[in-house]
Copies of this chain bind each other. A is one copy, B any other.
Amino acid sequence: MINVGIIGFGTVGTGTAKILLKNKSLLRNRTGIRINLKKIADLDIKRDRGIKLPDNVLTDNVDELIKDPDIDIIVELIGGTGIAREIILKSIRNGKHVVTANKALLATHGTEILKAAGDMNVELGFEASVAGGIPVIKVIREGLVANRIKAIYGIINGTTNYILTRMTEEKKDFGDALKEAQKLGYAEADPTFDIEGVDSAHKLAIIASLSYSSQFSLKDIYCEGISGISPMDIEFALELGYKLKLLAIAKRRGAKVELRVHPTMIPKEYLISKIDGVYNAVSVEGDAVGATLYYGKGAGDMPTGSAVVSDIVDIARNIVSNSTGRIPLMAKPEKAVGPMKMDDVISMYYFRFSALDKPGVLSKISGILGKYNISIASVIQKGRREGKAVPLVVLTHKAREKNVVMAIKAIDRLPVVASRTVFIRVEHKEPD
């Protein structure tokens, strides 16, 4: 029998407990192992979560779990980077295997936690930390183990994908779409982490670290959110054959990895551009397998609980077969790879200039672009308002981010440019 203790009886904790109870015999039959939910700790042990627990399972004392010699696996589901970190480290020091869904903690203190787990020879499961119910960590680490990972493109934040979907389908502006998402429970009262891309960056740090056997953290990731996106740019994108998505991108470039989260235009016909609403999807490109994609619910009690329980089962199987550590916590890199500076990233770009509608303007703008080695793929001027500002949309060929930033700065100083230029990166996958 494997005893499990859950710390944090919120949404995911409840989902996890429900699955462990409801599918107990299923799990037993599939694994040959009795997985027993021995304890759940939470500060609030009164609230009704719509689940009937056996007697003596609930406690408000975390130590009852961490110090219980019978408990094999501690599941940390309280979130945040404070108490959660202490609980995990203490559990590890007490020889417990740990399962967590805590992306913020892993993306900021991952190195410390992995080291502690390695020192104590305990397992650390974190499938639920990225893309909810989609088993993308297992896929990257095991299913695609034969592959050098060329690139990852992820829609790994349901809140922003919902907002962008509504802005695209209903031509809503950002504020209205956000309000709608909040009303439906898809966005939090303070949505900053989601809409500014921080949550996606946390998750990207985790999957990129696994994919490239390096310990990337939040500070290695360029991060830009969607709060500045206007419906006009979504419209223009569609006209040009693109959908606008908040993508988390990791891309191998020699000894460096591009790591970036930002609004991205992707060709309409790509499968990932068709992922709408709160759903998540992660596209992983391997050198052998080519392009693959994994899709499902990125949040919620039961989907995330599904991922937590899959980690519990993996660890239980290892305990029973005496093979903990069967998969190293962190693989050795072939060569050390570091994060690429955003300045050095090469991308295509969409620019929307607010240019006065008068002769010679395009020549001034394209002159500056040319000076910075940015070549134009296509130009569309929308509408005519002589002497007034109109949107001038430019798509570029591949250019260097640093040059783009400098060029835009110079262009925004031109008297014929009425307001700050909008620029959005455009992503085409490399051909296989």
Residues of A at the B interface (CB closer than 8 Å) are 15, 18-19, 23, 25-27, 29-32, 127, 133-135, 138-139, 142-148, 213, 271, 274-275, 286-297, 300, 302-303, 305-307, 309-310, 313-314, 317-318, 321-323, 325-328, 331-334
Across-interface contacts of A302 in B (CB, < 8 A): 287-290
A286→B133 CA distance, assembly (Å): 10
A328→B289 CA distance, assembly (Å): 27
**Is B306 touching A289 in the complex (CB atoms < 8 A)?**
yes
Decide yes or no: A309 and B145 within 8 Å by CB, A19-B288, A302-B289, A318-B323 being known contacts.
yes
**Is A306 touching B146 in the complex (CB atoms < 8 A)?**
yes
Across-interface contacts of A303 in B (CB, < 8 A): 288-290
**Is B145 touching A31 in the complex (CB atoms < 8 A)?**
yes
A287→B23 CA distance, assembly (Å): 10
**Is A294 touching B294 in the complex (CB atoms < 8 A)?**
yes
Chain A to chain B: the 6 pairs with minimum beta-carbon distance, closest first: A135-B143, A146-B309, A292-B296, A323-B323, A321-B323, A133-B289
Majority-rule SS of A interface residues: mixed
Number of this chain's copies in the complex: 2
**Is A310 touching B145 in the complex (CB atoms < 8 A)?**
yes
Decide yes or no: A297 and B290 within 8 Å by CB, A139-B143, A143-B138, A328-B32 being known contacts.
yes
Across-interface contacts of A327 in B (CB, < 8 A): 31, 317
A301, closest chain B residue (CB): B288
A328→B29 CA distance, assembly (Å): 10
**Is A142 touching B138 in the complex (CB atoms < 8 A)?**
yes
CB distance from A165 to the nearest CB of B (A): 12
Across-interface contacts of A325 in B (CB, < 8 A): 321
A32, closest chain B residue (CB): B328
Across-interface contacts of A288 in B (CB, < 8 A): 15, 18-19, 23, 133, 302-303, 305-306, 309
Show 16 residue pairs from A and B whose CB-CB distance is below 8 angstroms, ordered by the A residue.
Answer: A19-B146, A23-B148, A32-B332, A127-B143, A134-B292, A142-B310, A145-B309, A145-B313, A271-B295, A288-B305, A289-B297, A289-B307, A290-B300, A290-B302, A292-B296, A294-B294
A31→B329 CA distance, assembly (Å): 10
